[in-house]
A and B are shown apart, each in its own frame.
Chain A
Amino acid sequence: MIEISDLYVKYRWRQEPIIKGVTARFDDKHLILGPNGSGKTTLFRAIAGLTPISSGEVLIDGVDVSTIYGEPGILAVNLSEVYNVLHLNAYDNLRLYMDLVGGDLDYALSLLEQLGVDKMLLKRRKLWELSAGQQKAFSTIAALASKVKHVLLDEPFEQLDPARKSRLIEGLKEYNGVLLLNTHETWLLTALSDWSTVFVFEGKLYGPVPVSELLNASLVMGDEEEALLRFEASGCKYSLVKSAKGEALTKLTTLDKVYELAMGVQR
């Protein structure tokens, strides 16, 4: 279980916080939905202890993340920079990582092959020589095959073609453990209907809401009385409602469109 309480994160001391007073608890499979630049990746970096926390705390299975060292099996993240360990080919880096976490190298290779990244390619190229999609597939599969209790997947579908996206979704459904997946793409709601969703806007978390309730939800501006969820972005109030009015959430394609709605109103 990942517990976050009153978390603030900023990169420079004079900067406005990127994560603002987030409190949450993750113990199942969760979609973290938010537009680009909303703080999703920073939240993951803070959970993994890769970025200093200004205030608040992150507990993983009751242990403060800042005190965790040399503990395989607890958490894995698919940020590609953490797999770029040595200037060797991608296969050696995968072999190294799987050995260090006690993961399943053969399983990782078979999953990667399903996503179109074969062993020969990994042996021929260094990690940064792979395409952006191949790099994302590499780091996502490395995280999933490491057999840990908590996996954080940052935009795992980015740069993947539709066929590979559906194969990856099958892989996510098979995973047993706490899984946090952040994305700005709302089409995923229809594919992961038994998950729960948390929204992120401008460093604040809203939710959780079961995905099943969001499948027929629409986004409207303003503070609706019977809203499933209310949030603020760019100084405007929004509500997610279960009615035909507004923009159907699953048809937005990306949550970046929230800002387009706000701009339309301002015009």
Chain B
Amino acid sequence: MTIYLKLKMKDLLTNPELLGWGIGFIEFWVLMWIFVFTKGPPKTIPLEYFASVNASMAFGFLGLLSMASVAIGLAYSIFHQSRAARYLTKFTKLSPRAFLLEDFFGSLVTLLIFIAVIYASIIAANYAKFGVFPVLKNPIGVFVDLVISGVALYWFAYALALTIIVTRRTRAISMVSFIPLVIAFIAYSQLWVDFKSLVYVIPLSTIPSLLMYHATGMVPPTGSYLAWLFGSEPLTSINLRLAAISLFAWIVIFIAISLVMLRKSRGIPLEEIRF
């Protein structure tokens, strides 16, 4: 490992836009979720159960939004670095493989730090509101889910940034970089909408269900999470194996697109990789 890994993390963790969107913006919704939108359990549901599931749901969905916000910054970072990366990977000890590995690990650790901050604030806010500490049923499972989600979002951002370069649509970066957040918001709509089988097809939308399962030990539905929480309507349980396969399949697709684009981008002059 070189100093690049450390400085990449410093770059992302001191980026005001990233901190604003990935933490500030999401913290606002954490507070709204716990203190404004959550009115408390109906008499038929025990408080501990309600608080625990509610906190896991907040973590699953707001955590995904936070990671998607970081992915916007990652796409920008990958796009801007592409000018210097070609030179660095040729004439420094940072070979292409070392660059990809260190860039990936630096970004992944940053994503996990962001999500840890969001998780801590959800726990604190939940305790302040209900006086209950939601305990993770399977913390290792949750951690693995987060790592896999981070992998998916990193390669999603990478594929988008490289597609912009290869198609020479460099001015579209500000619009295209927001695609992960748009898709995360589509996944967020599962709080009210039941995607049914589409949940396995829409990228990233199985992440909240996997997190919910490992956090609470309960198998969530394919959508309409709020109705599920209040037990107001019968819903189809998600197939967790298919949910995991869907997430892995999207990771493979994002990596494949990135690698193809990476190869194609070598034929593009450095002069064109700019606004």
Chain A interface (Cβ < 8 Å from any Cβ of B): 11, 45, 48-52, 65, 68-72, 74-77, 79, 81-88, 92, 95-97, 99-102, 148
Interface residue from B77, B96, B269 paired with A52 (Cβ < 8 Å): B269
Q: Chain B's nearest CB lies how many Å from the CB of A156?
A: 17
Cα distance, A87 to B268, chains bound together (Å): 23
B95 A69 Cβ-Cβ under 8 A = yes
Is B87 at the interface (CB under 8 A from chain A)?
Answer: yes
B87 A50 Cβ-Cβ under 8 A = yes
B93 A102 Cβ-Cβ under 8 A = yes
Q: Chain B's nearest CB lies how many Å from the CB of A122?
A: 14
Is B175 at the interface (CB under 8 A from chain A)?
Answer: no
Interface residue from A45, A88, A101 paired with B7 (Cβ < 8 Å): A88
Would you list 17 pairs from A and B whose C-beta atoms are within 8 A, ordered by A residue?
A50-B87, A65-B90, A69-B95, A70-B90, A70-B93, A70-B94, A70-B96, A70-B98, A71-B91, A77-B87, A81-B83, A81-B84, A82-B88, A85-B84, A96-B4, A100-B88, A102-B93
Residues of A within 8 A of B272 (CB): 11
Cα distance, A88 to B77, chains bound together (Å): 11
Cα distance, A74 to B92, chains bound together (Å): 9
B269 A87 Cβ-Cβ under 8 A = no
Which residues in chain B, 97-118, are within 8 Å of chain A measured between CB atoms?
97-98
Is B3 at the interface (CB under 8 A from chain A)?
Answer: yes
A88 B84 Cβ-Cβ under 8 A = no
Is B80 at the interface (CB under 8 A from chain A)?
Answer: yes
A50 B96 Cβ-Cβ under 8 A = no
Cα distance, A69 to B91, chains bound together (Å): 7
Residues of B within 8 A of A85 (CB): 4, 81, 84-85, 88
Chain B interface (Cβ < 8 Å from any Cβ of A): 2-4, 7-8, 10-11, 14-15, 77, 80-81, 83-98, 266-272, 274
Q: Chain B's nearest CB lies how many Å from the CB of A110?
A: 21
B91 A75 Cβ-Cβ under 8 A = yes
Residues of B within 8 A of A87 (CB): 11, 15, 77, 80
**List of 10 A-B pairs having minimum Cβ-Cβ separation, nearest first:** A70-B95, A100-B92, A82-B87, A51-B269, A86-B11, A50-B270, A85-B84, A99-B3, A81-B83, A82-B84
B10 A51 Cβ-Cβ under 8 A = no
B93 A88 Cβ-Cβ under 8 A = no
Q: A51-B269, A82-B83, A99-B2 are in contact. Are A92 and B92 (CB under 8 A)?
A: no
Cα distance, A12 to B47, chains bound together (Å): 66
Cα distance, A70 to B271, chains bound together (Å): 22
Residues of B within 8 A of A51 (CB): 269-271
Cα distance, A86 to B269, chains bound together (Å): 20
A92 B96 Cβ-Cβ under 8 A = no
Cα distance, A97 to B87, chains bound together (Å): 11
**Quick one: closest B residue to A70, CB to CB?**
B95
A52 B268 Cβ-Cβ under 8 A = yes
Interface residue from A48, A86, A96 paired with B91 (Cβ < 8 Å): A48
Residues of A within 8 A of B91 (CB): 48, 68, 71-72, 74-76, 101, 148
B92 A97 Cβ-Cβ under 8 A = yes
Residues of B within 8 A of A97 (CB): 92
Q: A51-B271, A68-B91, A87-B77 are in contact. Are A100 and B2 (CB under 8 A)?
A: yes
Q: Chain B's nearest CB lies how many Å from the CB of A147?
A: 12
Q: A92-B10, A95-B3, A97-B92 are in contact. Are A84 and B80 (CB under 8 A)?
A: yes
A69 B96 Cβ-Cβ under 8 A = yes
Q: A11-B271, A50-B269 are in contact. Are A69 and B84 (CB under 8 A)?
A: no
**Quick one: closest A residue to B272, CB to CB?**
A11
Identify the interface centre among B4, B83, B92: most chain A CB within 10 Å of its CB.
B92
